[in-house]
Amino acid sequence: MKQLIEYLAKSLVEHPEQVQVTVQKNNDNLVLELKVANEDLGRIIGQKGQTVKAIRQLLTAAATKTKTKVSLIVQE
Amino acid sequence: MPESIGEGKTVEAATEAALMDLGCKKEEAEIEVLQEAVKGIFGRTKAARVKVIYNRTNENAEGLKKEDKTEISERISRENMHEASIQGQNIVTKILTLMGIENVKIKAKEEESTITLDIQCEPEGLLIGRQGQTLSSLQYLVNRVIHNTVNKQIRYIVDVGGYKIRHKTILEKMANRIAQKVSDSKEEEQLKAMSAYDRRIIHVCVKDNPEVTTYSLGEGNFRRVVIAPKDKAVPSEQ
């Protein structure tokens, strides 16, 4: 999961070296926090949140396979 | 501009020697005679000297160049397409592996400005998602990732086991059925809310039917196609 987010985020931004993903575990819930450079925020979120929505969709699909719950937070 | 001076018993011989030296054709060069061959007394001769300048702006030469160029650019674009297709396949494989989906096979089809990547894997349903949502997310992200790394005017269509083709035929069947119903009853009918891509399939499918017309209603995720009888549709729009 973490690698998936890292790969997608790094391929979407202009400053891949500033991409950081941290993982927290709340019971069965996996919480991923994504941190990117300020000027890259727009690239991650996309028009009307389209990009982050697509990332979450893929994340949910991947989580269904392992029967876990995952949520993604994009830090400002 | 490259030039060469040739010497020979006659002007022709001198020119040939100079052209050989430059490695170009007579049409591509400007020839200037410096010294005609002169027969002296007692059989002593002065050799002919010719200056040959390779001329790029020469008409013939330019024509040749242009042809070469278009041929080359065509070949490059075809190579580029192939390269782009491999790039797309790599990205899809990478994303799927990170999602924990293995044994992925991708069939790529290169068209004029689009590349279709058909994924073959198990289970298909996971990648398609409800109403193809996961699939369209995947397609969107693949396009975004590629357009971020290389600026190319190529669109990628990502499909799983021919799902999109199946889905299209289902939509077309439904559209034709409802169009028939509408032209019989003369009452317009609303379809369920669909994505822009799906709505377009309906519009295109019903377009050639002389009895009915189509338009869309609603905003965002609730936008849906209405199939209406043609004669009735005009007053209702006014």
Outline which parts of chain B fall under CATH 3.30.1370.50.
165-229
pLDDT of residue B238: 41
Pick the residue from chain B with its C-alpha nearest to A61: B126
- Cα-based angle A38, B144, A73 (whole degrees, multiple of 5): 45
> What's the pLDDT score for residue B28?
76
Bridge-based pairing of strands B114-120 and B155-160 is: parallel
Q: Which two tokens stand for residue B112?
A: 């004029």
Q: Which of A11, A43, A58 lies nearest to residue B99, judging by beta carbons? A: A58
A62 to chain B: which residues are within 8 Å by CB?
98-100
ipTM: 0.91
Please indicate whether, in this complex, the C-beta atoms of A54 and B141 are within 8 angstroms of each other. Answer: yes
Could you give the percent of chain A with pLDDT greater than 90? Answer: 24
Best mutation target among B91, B93, B98 (most A Cβ atoms within 10 Å) is B98
Asked: is B165-229 a CATH 3.30.70.20 domain? The reply is no
Give the mean model confidence (pLDDT) for residues A35-57: 90
What SS3 state is found at B232?
A: helix
The more confidently predicted of residues A1 and A60 is A60
Q: Do A62 and B142 form a contact (C-beta atoms < 8 A)?
A: no
Dist. CA B123–CA B11, nearest whole Å: 80
Is residue A30 a contact partner of residue A71, using CB atoms and an 8 Å limit?
yes
In the structure encoding, which two tokens stand for residue B80, read together? 């580029």
CA distance B56 to chain A (A): 43
Residue A64 DSSP label: H
Domains of chain A in sequence order: 2-75 (3.30.300.20)
- Indicate the residue of B100, B136, B148 with minimum beta-carbon distance to A62: B100
For residue B233, the model assigns a pLDDT of 47
Residue B237: what pLDDT? 46
Low-confidence stretches of chain B (pLDDT < 50) are 58-62, 233, 236-238
User: What distance in Å separates residue A57's CA from the closest CA in chain B?
Assistant: 6
Does A54 sit within 8 Å of B140, measured CB to CB? yes
Count CB atoms within 10 A of the CB of residue B88: 24
Identity of the residue in B129, B138, B144 whose CB atom sits nearest the CB atom of A51? B144
Q: How far is A68 from chain B (nearest CA, A)?
A: 13
What is the pTM for the complete model shown?
0.68
Chain B residues with CB-CB distance to A under 8 A? Answer: 91, 94-95, 98-101, 126-127, 129, 133-134, 136-138, 140-141, 144-145, 148-149
> How far is the alpha carbon of A72 from chain B, nearest alpha carbon, in Å?
15
Among B189, B216, B211, residue whose Cα is nearest residue B201 = B216
Which sign, positive or negative, has the C-alpha torsion B212, B217, B114, B95?
negative
Query: To the nearest whole angstrom, how far is the Cα of A6 from the nearest Cα of chain B?
Result: 10
* CATH 3.30.300.20 residue ranges for chain B: 64-161
Point out the residue among A3, A43, A60 whose CB comes nearest to the CB of B98: A3
User: Which residues of A touch chain B, with CB atoms under 8 Å apart?
Assistant: 3-4, 7-8, 11-13, 43, 46, 50-51, 53-55, 57-58, 60-62, 64-66
Query: What would the pLDDT profile of B207-228 be if each residue is shown by its tens digit?
Result: 988 889 999 999 988 999 999 9
The architecture in CATH of the region B64-161 reads: 2-Layer Sandwich (3.30)
Check residue B74 and give its pLDDT: 64
**CA-closest candidate to residue B145, choices A51, A35, A64, A24:** A51
Which residues of chain A have a CB within 8 Å of the CB of B136? Answer: 54
Phi first, then psi, for residue B179 (nearest 5°) are -60, -40
Q: Who wins on pLDDT, A4 or B103?
A: A4
